[in-house]
Amino acid sequence: MRIPLGARTHAGTSALLVVLTVVACLLVAGLPRTMQASFDEALRRSLSGAEAVRADLTVAGAPVLPAGELHSRAQFEGGDLHWRRLLPAALRPLIGSGGHISAKTHRTPVNETGDIRSFVNLGWLSDADRRVQWVRGRAPGAPSTMRYGGQTIPVIEVGVVAEAVTRMGLDVGRTRLLGESVHTAVKIVGVFEPRDPADRAWSHDADLLHVTRVLPADAPEELHITALMPDEGLGALANKARTLTYHWVLPLDGRAASALDVPAVEAAVAEFQRQVDVQGTGATSYRLVTGLPQLLAGFLAVLSSAQTVMYLVLGGLFAVGLGVIVLGVRLLTDRMERTLALARARGASLRQVVSAGAALTALTVGPAALAGYALSFLLPGPVLPVVHLGPAAVAVVAVGFAAARLVLTHRAPLREHRADLVAARPSARRVTVEALVVVLALAGAYLLRARGPSGTAQQDPFLLLIPVALTVAAALVTLRCYPYPLRLLVRLAARGRAAVPFLGLTRAARERSAGALPVLILLPALSLSVFAAVVHDGISTTQRLASWQKVGAPIKLTSVGNLPAAAVERVRRAPGVEQVALALTGRVQIGETGEWPYAVAVDLAQWRRVNEGAPISLPTLSGSTSALLSPALGGRGAFELRWLSPVRLTSQGVIDAVPGFYSSGQFLLVPWEVLPWPAANALLIKGDIPPAELARLVPSATVETQEAALAAIQADPLTGTVRTTMVVVTVALGAYALVAIVLSLVAGAAGRARSVALLRTLGLSDREARRLTLLELLPVVLVTAPVGVALGMGLPAALGPGVDMSAFAGGLPVADHTPGLLRPVALAAGLGLCAVLGAYVHTTMTRRRKLDAALRVGDP
């Protein structure tokens, strides 16, 4: 057999196989790249969005002896170079060239008495000239000395923020004596403010920008601030009081992170921590301070859930695509069967026949696989091993299947065989294996539900295998039970007078063995497409619920202090505002226990009107002296609440969260009536008013909207990738299911056309021919479609406890997998419509065939 001649003879079938192969290779090589690119982007956003104090690597040193003290910038910069040299290779690309060094004291008291204790710590920043600007006074200069208690003590010039001037009385020109046993004086010479308050580096040095208020349980109130001193002050900075620490901040550059390198980065951080620990001497101790391992562990947990779901659907997509290609290869080998059988009868060896058929298949599939592989490089993302292995696997399986089928078909010259037997008794071994697969699949699904999530960030093979086992079990049960309703229909049709139902169902029964492969393709295609659609809908629904839980209303306006009545009235009268509910939040004290939970007082009736039609339900309080407590507060009876004024309340029950306010920790919800006078620091608003307009009406307030919260949840790269992948997989699997129906129709087209033409010589009309073809095709769709749809709708419930998708839904568990009937019905209806259209097209094409040719061609 000449290969080019065979390619021209079967050009139509070859073209179809080429298209299927290109699409399959593009999906199997391109989707993993896109998926991995989204993983990398999610990691970069996670690291870049985290506080610098958590993501950066900070080496903290504490001098124990005077020999370990550093008194010059050059000594600190030498330490920075030393720590960078110790960085493992996996960390060096992630550490930026910036960073800064600091030296600070902590809990340095002001030597004076009063009801409030003041602490002024000394701080030096290596990049202060770049990060701060002086708005009053001047920048600090060289230190001086003064006499105190018969000793000469240093006087260090410092600057503070305006908040320290207001709250602690540290005005420009004043001198404060610090320390109790070891004294140092500071002179405030200037007031500074940050050049860029949004600079991430300030999270390391927030103590310089804000006064910290501390309420000890058995001591007076404390106010803490860190003052900024110049380089010259380092010479006078000693650790005699053991309150001095040094910090070398090595900034993390999240833009260079890759999800594939996370395990190596985790190991490198652990190694760097070990290196830092062993650098300590008798004069100085060192330790590594970072939250990077926790950030990476949290990301890996989310990544594991995303990979599990997407590898599951992508693996199913690959298997279905491969099955459709195998169905196309079978169609091609069927078309070559007469030619190869004739060559075999004329003396060609089995090797020659198989080589010819496999070569034609390779000539068709090989270039198409390369084309799909090349097209995948147009998509963004790193090149993973599956990018190379996927297209190669498609080509190898296609050629291997063609060779195996030709070997079985042409083992002997002109070997007679029949594939249209109505029933064939399976062997006991086969029945046992199939029963074992079904039992193991059901047992695995039960164990998965009983076990729940694996609790690790690694891929769970158990979770990946159970859906495959359930699909295989459902396919085996379907194939084993398929003959029984078909036989019943044949018997019922045999009792009627019409010949078309009997003939159509009889042909369907005789082609049952040839329909096994389409069933094995249709079932996973339908089940996984429905599964993807259900999961997508569940995530979307939960995302919307999470956005409402986060904001608590269509619009929420909050203020640090109480809102003036005039501001509330301006909001009420603003154009577009329909409803406004007042709320007051604050820290309260429970008299009997001394606990300090957070409280929310809100007009619940008005809040319900604001949230009319929202997916969240609001709690109900039975009286004006009732309260709902968080689980952290536990159950209790009557108790005294000290807020604006003491009030006696009765616990009505436990509430898990107050939407828009609190969802963890100690909190309670009380009715608006417990307030002794109207006060509000939060407004819950319903209406069509731009957030910018509300911010203009109340400049000191913060405005949140439910729509913005939903957009923020959906903007996460991992979340967007999961939802997009689900949509792509649903569409692709639905298309593959339709292709499987078309291929099964085309595979039997020749024999069906011959039978219809012969029956037309006996008086079969065109309408009856269409019904005959339709009755032959429909059993596969009518039996497989309900099973596939039911399995797809049941998979989320079976896998739900094992897959934590809360990271993609705003932190809420995706527990609602109640699917809409639109997509499953549309998929099943599409298959049925495809079968109907195929029957009409096939009948139209066979109408052109001459009846006298039908009598002369074919088997007698």
pLDDT of 190-201, one tens digit each?
999 999 988 889
Tell me phi and psi for residue 224, to 5 degrees.
-120, 140
What is the share, in percent, of the chain residues with pLDDT greater than 70?
Answer: 85
Look at residue 857 in the predicted model and tell me its pLDDT. 47
What is the share, in percent, of the chain residues with pLDDT greater than 90?
Answer: 18
For the ranges 273-277, 318-322, 790-794, the maximum mean pLDDT occurs at: 273-277
Lowest mean pLDDT among 113-122, 734-743, 774-783, 836-845: 836-845
Sign of the alpha-carbon torsion through 468, 470, 473, 474:
negative
Look at residue 858 in the predicted model and tell me its pLDDT. 46
Let me know if 226 is exposed, middle or buried by CB neighbors in 10 A (0-12, 13-18, 19+). buried
pLDDT of 589-607, one tens digit each?
887 777 888 888 988 888 9
Q: How far apart (Å, rounded) are the C-alpha atoms in residues 59 and 290?
A: 9
Q: Is the pLDDT of residue 748 over 70?
A: no
Instruction: List beta partners, residue 111.
Output: none
Structural domain spans, the chain = 3-39+299-545+716-856, 57-289, 561-699
pLDDT of 211-265, one tens digit each?
888 767 566 778 999 999 999 988 888 777 668 899 999 999 888 888 888 999 9
pLDDT of 342-371, one tens digit each?
777 777 788 888 888 888 888 889 999 999
Q: What angle is formed at CA 318 by the lines to CA 313 and CA 322, rounded to 5 degrees?
A: 145
User: Which tokens is 225 given?
Assistant: 């601030």
Q: Which residue has the higher pLDDT, 851 or 788?
A: 788
Average pLDDT of the residues in 472-479: 81
Look at residue 128 in the predicted model and tell me its pLDDT. 92
Q: Is the pLDDT of residue 440 over 90?
A: no
Lowest mean pLDDT among 618-632, 639-653, 845-859: 845-859
Q: What angle is formed at CA 532 by the lines to CA 529 and CA 533, rounded to 5 degrees?
A: 85
Look at residue 157 in the predicted model and tell me its pLDDT. 93
Q: How far apart (Å, rounded) are the C-alpha atoms in residues 343 and 360?
A: 15
User: Which tokens is 841 given?
Assistant: 């097209």
Q: Taking the CA of residue 622 as centre, how many other CA atoms within 13 Å lie in the half-sphere pointing to its CB? A: 7
Average pLDDT of the residues in 125-147: 91
- Residue 584's SS3 state is strand
Look at residue 42 in the predicted model and tell me its pLDDT. 84
pLDDT of 139-178, one tens digit each?
999 988 888 877 888 899 999 999 999 888 888 988 988 8
Q: Give the number of residues written for the chain.
A: 860
Average pLDDT of the residues in 557-570: 86
DSSP secondary structure of 189-218: EEEEEES-TT-GGGGGSHHHHSPEEE--TT
Tell me phi and psi for residue 296, to 5 degrees.
-70, -40
Look at residue 84 in the predicted model and tell me its pLDDT. 92
Look at residue 22 in the predicted model and tell me its pLDDT. 92
Strands 57-63 and 284-289: antiparallel
Average pLDDT of the residues in 759-766: 71
Q: Is the pLDDT of residue 506 over 70?
A: yes
Mean pLDDT of the chain: 81
Q: Is the pLDDT of residue 179 over 90?
A: no
Could you give the dihedral angle defined by the CA atoms of residues 668, 671, 673 and 678, in that order, rounded to the nearest 10 degrees? Answer: 70
Look at residue 453 in the predicted model and tell me its pLDDT. 55
Straight-line distance from the first to the last Cα atom of the chain, in angstroms, rounded to the nearest whole number: 28
Average pLDDT of the residues in 650-659: 86
Look at residue 314 in the predicted model and tell me its pLDDT. 78
- Residue 576's SS3 state is coil
CA proximity to 586, closest of 576, 599, 573: 599
pLDDT of 88-122, one tens digit each?
999 999 997 788 999 999 888 888 766 678 899 99
* Predicted confidence band of residue 3 (pLDDT cuts 50, 70, 90): low
Q: Is the pLDDT of residue 501 over 50?
A: yes
* Predicted confidence band of residue 74 (pLDDT cuts 50, 70, 90): very high
pTM to 2 decimals? 0.74
Residues 412/65, Cβ–Cβ less than 8 Å: no
Residues 692/550, Cβ–Cβ less than 8 Å: no
The CA–CA distances, whole Å, from 510 to 417, 479, 503, 747 equal: 14, 14, 10, 14
The radius of gyration of the chain's CA atoms, rounded to the nearest angstrom, is: 38
DSSP state at residue 94: G
Look at residue 490 in the predicted model and tell me its pLDDT. 78
Look at residue 267 in the predicted model and tell me its pLDDT. 93
Look at residue 292 in the predicted model and tell me its pLDDT. 93
pLDDT of 378-424, one tens digit each?
888 888 888 888 899 999 999 999 898 888 887 766 555 555 554 55
The stretches of 561-678 forming alpha helices (DSSP H) are 565-573, 604-610
